[in-house]
Amino acid sequence: MKISRELEAFAARLGHRFADPALLVQAVTHPSMAAGTGGHNQRLEFLGDRVLNLLIAEALFKADVQAAEGTLAPRYNALVRKETCAEIARSLDLGAVLKLGRSEMQSGGRRKDALVADALEAVLAAVYLDAGLDAARDIVLRLWGDRIVKAETHVSNAKSELQEWAQGRGMATPDYVEIERAGPAHAPVFTVEARLADGRAARAEASSKRNAEQAAAGALLKKVQADD
């Protein structure tokens, strides 16, 4: 199967030559482009999420042999969350090669964190199916790079830190509002907004409401600390 020059260039940036290019084509095809055909990337995303989770957990396990589970867990969450995957997808310019339906294109789909993050997971699944776990591991270790050893250990405490910040200034406890729930039932995407009593707010997306709240709290905390 012959693929476009754009996809060939993307595969080069990814660092993998596909024996079966059809897997890559499917990985970058959003359901809005292939509705009802089954030729989209949702099944690959499902698999790629599990491949990524295993490889990141393995990398953290090997990177710090003294770390307890309570230390590894927040690092893991920081590395597999949608925001991190979206950053890495953008470093590859994955959004530029996505195959999107008209409505998704018009709504700015190429720039959406959840959409490009899901596509990256689908691409990892495509690599895994094409060449096995070792090939997927090589790509994950290269793309995540220093993030693995520098993973934030305080991510899981962002809500507590924001609450302490607010209380220290005589404010009420921050509110967390679910703005949107999107995506398929097996892979939902939650958008949550963290709000302070003085009107300042920040939003974040994640695959669980809890993680979205933590990410929104972290984003708002950075904002208010920059303002101080």
Tokens for 216, please give them. 């929104």
Tokens for 112, please give them. 């959406």
Residues 188 and 207: their CA atoms lie apart, in Å, by 6
Least confident of 112-116, 125-129, 135-139: 112-116
State mean pLDDT over 208-228: 83
121 is catalytic: yes
Among residues 45, 104, 121, 130, the one annotated as catalytic is: 121
Contacts of 16 (CB under 8 A, 6+ apart): 127, 130, 131, 135, 139
Q: What is the pLDDT of residue 19?
A: 96
Q: What is the pLDDT of residue 136?
A: 98
Q: In what order do the strands lie in the sheet with 201-206?
A: 175-182, 189-195, 201-206
Q: Which domains does the chain have, with CATH numbers?
A: 5-150 (1.10.1520.10), 155-227 (3.30.160.20)
Answer whether 81's CB lies under 8 Å from 121's CB: no
Residue 119 has pLDDT above 70, yes or no: yes
Residue 202 has pLDDT above 80, yes or no: yes
Tell me if residue 29 falls in helix, strand or coil. strand
49 is catalytic: yes
Confidence of residue 113 (pLDDT cuts 50, 70, 90): confident
Q: Taking Cα atoms as reference points, which of 140, 134, 148, 104 lies closest to residue 121?
A: 140
Q: What is the pLDDT of residue 219?
A: 86
Tokens for 220, please give them. 């708002």
State mean pLDDT over 103-125: 88
pLDDT tens, position by position, 23-79:
999 999 998 886 655 689 999 999 999 999 999 999 999 998 888 877 787 788 889
pTM of the model: 0.69
Q: What is the pLDDT of residue 100?
A: 86
Residue 196 has pLDDT above 60, yes or no: yes
- Reported residue count of the chain is 228
Among residues 45, 49, 113, 130, the one annotated as catalytic is: 49
CA-CA-CA-CA torsion sign (100, 139, 1, 10): positive
pLDDT tens, position by position, 140-182:
999 999 899 887 554 557 888 899 899 989 999 999 999 999 8
